[in-house]
Amino acid sequence: MLYREAGDFSTNYREDNQTFPIKFDRYRYYAIMLIAFLVVPFFVNDYWVNAIFLPFLIYAIAALGLNILTGYCGQVSLGTGGFMAVGAYAVYKLMTAFPDVNVLIHIVLAGGVTALVGILFGLPSLRIKGFYLAVATLAAQFFLVWVFNRVPWFYNYSASGQINAPERTFLGFTVTGAKTEAWVAYLVCLVFVTISAIVARNMTRGALGRSWMAIRDMDIAAEIIGVNPLKAKLSAFAISSFFVGISGALYFSVYLGAVEVGEVFGINKSFLVLFMIIIGGLGSVFGSFAGAAFLVLLPVLLKNVLVGYFGWQTDVAAHLEFMIIGGLIVWFLIVEPHGLAQLWRLGKEKLRTWPFPY
C-alpha cells in the first residue's frame, strides 16, 4: 500500500539508478540518517556508546570491507583480525610519530597502510582459490599478530607490549583517550561508517564492482570477456583491507584505547567478522550492517535481559547466550542460507503487493 513504485516517476537515468528507488525506502533512509546524526548524539551516555554503538559501527565497517572481498569478489579471507591489527598499529605509530597531524587523517592513512599490506597478502590469490586461499590468508593472520608481538618497534618499546592511544583532538573536541565525550566518539565513528557505506555501495555497482562479481561468478569466463583478474583481485584486496584497516584504527583509538594484539586481534576476530557477513548476507551492504548488529547487539541484549531482568547467575547466562546465539545462527542458515539481507529483500517483495498479494 505504502511501499510501492507506483506513482514514483523517474525522469532521468540518475533517478532510475538510485540506491532506494522506492519513495518509502528513501524517506526511511533519510529519517534514519537524521535520527542517527541529529537526535541520537543528544541522548547517548557512556554505556550506550561504549557497549553498543561503537562496537556495532566499527564492526559494520570491518564487515563492509570483508564483504567486498568475500561477498563481491569471492575471495575467502581469514585474515581480517590481522588486517585490523595493521590498522590499529599503523594509527598508533602515526599518532605517536606525528602528534601534530589530525588524528582523523591518521585513521584514513592507517587504512591506506592496511591496503598496501592487503595487496601484498592478496598476491597469492592470483594463483590459488577457495580453501587454499583461505589457508594463505590464515597465514597472514598468524604472521601479522606474531610480528606485532615480536617486533618492539611496533609498540614503541613499551614494557607491557601494549599500545595505548594518546589523547588527540579534532576542532577542540577530544576524539581519543579517556576524556572523550560519548557523543564525540559516536559521531566520529558514524561519519566513517556513513562514508564507507556510501563509497562501498557506489563502488560495487560501478565498473569495478561488476568486474569483482564477474571474477566471483566464474573467473575464466570473466577473463574471456576482458576482465583483468590481476586488477580485479588486487583492487578487491586493497579496498577491502582499506575498510578493515579503518575499522581496526577506530577500534583501537576511539573504542578501546589500549590494545593487546594477541587477545584482541586473534583468529577469533577473523571468524567473528566472517560470520557477520555470512549471517548478514554475502554481497550486500545492508547485510554487513545486519550481521554486525546481530553478533554485537544480541549478546548484550541477552545479557541485560537474563542477568539484569531475570537476575540469573552470570555464568548460566553466559553459557545460555552461547547456546541461543549458536542456535539462532544455525536456524537462520537453514531457513535462509543467503542471510538476513535476503530475508529483508523477500520481506520488501512481499510488502510491495501487500495487502493484496497475487
Partner 1 sequence: MFKKTILAALSSIMFAGPALAELVVPWFAYRTGAYAPSGIPLVDGINDYFTMVNERDGGIGGVPVRVLECETGYNTEKSVECYESTKAEGSLVYQPMSTGVTYQLIPKATADGIALHTLGYGRTSAANGRVFSNVFNYPANYWTAASVAVNHLLAENGGSISGKKVTLVYHNSAYGKEPIRVLEMLADKHGFEFNAIPVDHPGQEQKSQWLQIRRDKPDYVLMWGWGVMNSVAINEAANIRFPMENFIGVWWSGSENDVLPAGMRADGYKALALNAPGTDYGIYDELKANVWDKGLTAGAGDQIGSVLYNRALYMAFLTHMAIKKAQEVTGVADISQADMIKGMEALEITDAMMAENGLKGFAPSFKVTCEDHGGSGLGAVQQWDASAKTWNLITDFIEPDMGMIAPLIKEDSEAFAKENNIAMRC
* Of 202 and 304, CB closest to partner 1: 304
Residues numbered 309-328 forming contacts with partner 1, rule: CB under 8 A: 309, 314-315, 317-319
Closest CA to 177 of 262, 60, 95: 95
* Of 25 and 181, CB closest to partner 1: 181
C-alpha to C-alpha distance for 44 and 191, rounded to whole angstroms: 16
Residues numbered 151-170 forming contacts with partner 1, rule: CB under 8 A: 159-162, 164, 166-167
Q: Which DSSP string do the residues of 18-62 spell out, in sequence order?
A: -S--SHHHHHHHHHHHHIIIIIHHHH--HHIIIIIIHHHHHHHHH
C-alpha to C-alpha distance for 112 and 143, rounded to whole angstroms: 20
Check binding of 179 to partner 1 (CB under 8 A): yes
Using CB under 8 A, pick the residue from 258, 328, 330, 346 that binds partner 1: 258
Using CB under 8 A, pick the residue from 44, 50, 188, 246 that binds partner 1: 50
**Helix and strand element counts for the chain (H, E):** 17, 4
Pairing of strands 173-176, 168-170: antiparallel
* Stretch of 74-82, 110-118, 174-182, 204-212 contacting partner 1, by CB under 8 A: 174-182
* Of 188 and 236, CB closest to partner 1: 188
Distances (CA, A) of 324 to 269, 295, 312: 20, 12, 15
* Of 22 and 163, CB closest to partner 1: 163
Closest CA to 263 of 178, 161, 166: 161
Using CB under 8 A, pick the residue from 201, 205, 303, 352 that binds partner 1: 303
Using CB under 8 A, pick the residue from 134, 257, 332, 351 that binds partner 1: 257
Please, what's the b/e burial string for 129-153 (b: 16 or more CB within 10 A of its CB; e: otherwise)? eeeebbebbbebbeebbeebeeeee
**Cell, residue 25:** 525506502
* Of 67 and 164, CB closest to partner 1: 164
C-alpha to C-alpha distance for 240 and 55, rounded to whole angstroms: 19
| Number of residues this chain uses to bind partner 1 (CB under 8 A) | 39
* Stretch of 40-48, 118-126, 235-243, 342-350 contacting partner 1, by CB under 8 A: 40-48
How far apart are CB 263 and partner 1 at their closest, in Å? Answer: 5
Check binding of 256 to partner 1 (CB under 8 A): yes
* Of 260 and 336, CB closest to partner 1: 260
C-alpha to C-alpha distance for 148 and 162, rounded to whole angstroms: 10
Number of other residues whose CB lies within 10 A of the CB of residue 98: 13
Using CB under 8 A, pick the residue from 36, 51, 134, 147 that binds partner 1: 51
Check binding of 178 to partner 1 (CB under 8 A): yes
- List the x/- string, 260-299, binding to partner 1 by CB under 8 A: x-xxx-x---------------------------------
* Stretch of 67-75, 81-89, 177-185, 223-231 contacting partner 1, by CB under 8 A: 177-185
Distances (CA, A) of 358 to 5, 218, 234, 349: 16, 36, 46, 12
Decide if 87 contacts 214 (C-beta within 8 A). Answer: no
Q: Which DSSP string do the residues of 264-290 spell out, in sequence order?
A: HSSHHHHHHHHHHHHHH-TT-HHHHHH
Contacting residues toward partner 1, per CB under 8 A? 45-47, 50-51, 55, 149, 159-162, 164, 166-167, 177-179, 255-260, 262-264, 266, 300, 303-305, 307-309, 314-315, 317-319
